[in-house]
Amino acid sequence: MDVHGGRTDSAVLVPLFTDASGDVHAVFTKRRENLKRHAGEISFPGGSRDDGETLMQTALREAHEEVGLPPEAVEIVGALAPVGTFVTNYRIYPFVGLIEPGFEWIAQETEVALVLEFRLDDLVAGHSLKRLVRRGMAFKTDVYEVDGHMVWGATARILGDFLFRTGAGPPLRPLPRPTPRPEGQH
């Protein structure tokens, strides 16, 4: 996958668990609406790398800080291709980790509004190509909608890569290129 943008290294954890009926779930956070960056967006737990730590350590530390998931409760099983963000200029390194079901999430109050657990089957069923407008830029992009929540942007690209690699999702589309909206359109 091509990394566009991204000068600041960051990492996310893609936490997965299998419930009693055999369904695989992914864990996401819904970011608080009052944040300066990525406000209200759904993302995997993660953030910027601190000096002296590996990117995998970053993903595990951030998951612990954001949702209370101890690093020792995660079995890292792989990594996905890095993804860049357009506006905030992050280069995101995703790590896939297995966890036990039934974890009691502790959302970091200053950053996380909700912790969401979505079945992979529901994410696949909720996939579509949608036209979005962000900061005056219109673009078509893959989205995943479940229970009124929409996963889009870098998180959708990470999720799409994971689903494609596991055979659960469609082939990846080229990265959307934002284009300015014509004058007079809002």
| CB-count exposure of residue 115 (10 Å: 0-12, 13-18, 19+) | buried
Of 146, 17, 24, 10, the C-alpha closest to 73 is 17
163 falls within a domain: yes
Whether the Cβ atoms of residue 132 and residue 93 lie closer than 8 Å to each other? no
171 falls within a domain: yes
125 falls within a domain: no
| Residue-number span of the structural domain to which 12 is assigned | 8-120+153-178
pLDDT at position 100 over 80: yes
Kindly report, residue by residue over 49-75, the tens digit of the pLDDT: 999 999 999 999 999 999 999 999 999
pLDDT classification of 185: cutoffs 50, 70, 90: very low
Tally of domains within the chain = 1
Whichever domain contains 62, its CATH number is 3.90.79.10
pLDDT classification of 144: cutoffs 50, 70, 90: very high
Kindly report, residue by residue over 38-48, the tens digit of the pLDDT: 567 899 999 99
Query: What distances in angstroms separate CA 182 from CA 24, 122, 186, one per listed residue?
Result: 43, 35, 9
Of 181, 163, 72, the C-alpha closest to 120 is 163
143 falls within a domain: no
3 falls within a domain: no
pLDDT classification of 35: cutoffs 50, 70, 90: low
Q: Is the dihedral of CA 29, 17, 50, 91 positive or negative?
A: negative
126 falls within a domain: no
